[in-house]
Each structure stands twice: as C-alpha cells, then as structure tokens.
Amino acid sequence: MSINPDQIIKFSPMHRLQWEEVQQKDVILYPEGMVELNQSSAEILKMCDGTRNLTQIVSDLEQQFATTGLVNDITAFLEVALKNGWIQQK
C-alpha cells in the first residue's frame, strides 16, 4: 500500500488518537486495543487532520522542527499507518 503524495490524508474515524497522562505518551485506541506511539509518530499523525496531503505534511513538519530531509521517514511511517487503517486517503 502506498501513499499518494497529492491526496488529502485524514485520521481514521474508527480510531482515536489520545494523550495518556499516566503513560506520558500518545496512543491510538480502537476496539479492544491500543498502540503506544513515540513522539515523532504522534506528531505525524496529528498532521493527518483532513486538510493536508503528504507533501504538505512533510513541509509543515520540517518547518515545525526546523529541519529538512524528513520525507522518507514520514512516507514510510504513513505507509504503515495506512496499512493498519489508522489513516485514510480519500
């Protein structure tokens, strides 16, 4: 499964992304399950709010963290996210 760089990405309405105070991390919640996220994965998923495509997510995150060269890492993670149904492209 691959990401179309021009298509808008949104977080799946069948999952919930939430900050867990006790664990001090973001998690994805879904029926009877939970995935714990590291900080960079969480930051990428928060960008999947239905207003940006891959190209915009990369440029916004590079700007936010004052860095460059994130495209490969972000693409690879979003492909995993798509495969797991955490995000959608429509």
Partner 1 sequence: MAGSNKNNITPPRWLLAELTYACPLQCPYCSNPIDYAKYQSELDTEDWKRVLTQARKMGAVQLGFSGGEPLTRKDLPELVKHARGLGYYSNLITSGYGLTEEKIIELKEAGLDHIQVSIQASSQELNDHIAGTESFQHKKEVAHLVKKHGYPMVLCVVIHRENIHQMPQILEMAEELGADYLELANTQYYGWAHANRDLLLPTKEQFEQAEQIAQAFKEKVAGKMKIYYVVPDFHEDRPKACMNGWGTTFLTIAPDGVALPCHSARELPGLDCPNVKDYSIDQIWNESKAFNFFRGYEWMKEPCSSCDEKEKDFGGCRCQAYLLTGDMYAADPVCSKSPNHSVIQEAIDSARASALSDHEKPLIFRNSKNSKKLS
Q: Which of 2, 34, 50, 64 touches partner 1 by CB under 8 A?
A: 34
User: Residue 8 pairs with which residues in a beta bridge?
Assistant: 53
- Assess 1 for contact with partner 1 (CB under 8 A): yes
- Assess 85 for contact with partner 1 (CB under 8 A): yes
User: How many residues of this chain bind partner 1 (CB under 8 A)?
Assistant: 17
Mutual orientation of helices 39-46 and 71-83 as an angle, nearest 10°? 80
- Assess 31 for contact with partner 1 (CB under 8 A): yes
Q: Residue 32, exposed/middle/buried by CB under 10 A (0-12, 13-18, 19+)?
A: exposed
- Assess 4 for contact with partner 1 (CB under 8 A): no
